[in-house]
Amino acid sequence: MQILKFLNKLITRFIFIGEIPIAPGTCASFFAVLLLYYFPFLNNLYVIILLLFLGIIGSNFEEVNTNIKDNQKIVIDEITGMFVTFVFLPVNLWNLILGFILFRLFDIKKVSLINSSQNLPQGWGVMADDILAGISANVILRLLFYIFG
């Protein structure tokens, strides 16, 4: 059981980025940007589905074992949300910078539906707000591309 707990922490805290004491969500989001910049082939729906699956199951496992709802050390949700921000968009430096800023704004502000999605049961609530923040950032990026070419 100990090995399972360790592996789950490794996944949900994304190689222990979640253990960073100051702004672990922002650090994880920045790490996701670096992953996409250096490994643009990760910018695909299959990776997002895998991260979502691991995030829902892993976050639920963490909540059950720690009794902490949406522990800030769980950062797989930020990684997944950042990947959603850029899915089907070109990966370049300016897009990554702008997408990072937009995602963090939506994730921190948690307006309307994004905020209420945190009330979903089990690991869904942990993942949903970041998925919605990523979708919101993705839509804004697309609008900006449409307007400014």
Write out the chain's pLDDT in tens, 149 residues.
799 999 999 999 999 999 999 999 999 999 999 999 999 999 999 999 999 999 999 999 999 888 888 899 999 999 999 999 999 999 999 999 999 999 999 999 988 777 777 778 788 999 999 999 999 999 999 999 999 87
- Give CA angle at 71 (85, 108), nearest 5°: 40
pLDDT value, residue 70: 81
pLDDT value, residue 117: 79
pLDDT value, residue 69: 82
* pTM assigned to the model: 0.94
The domain locations on the chain are 2-8+23-148
pLDDT value, residue 13: 95
- Cα distances from 73 to residues 18, 33, 85, 114, 124, in angstroms, run 4, 19, 21, 20, 16
CB 106 within 8 A of CB 136: yes
pLDDT value, residue 83: 98
Q: Rounded to a whole number, what is the largest CA-CA distance in the chain?
A: 53
CA–CA dist 20, 89 (Å, integer): 29
CB 84 within 8 A of CB 131: yes
pLDDT value, residue 72: 92
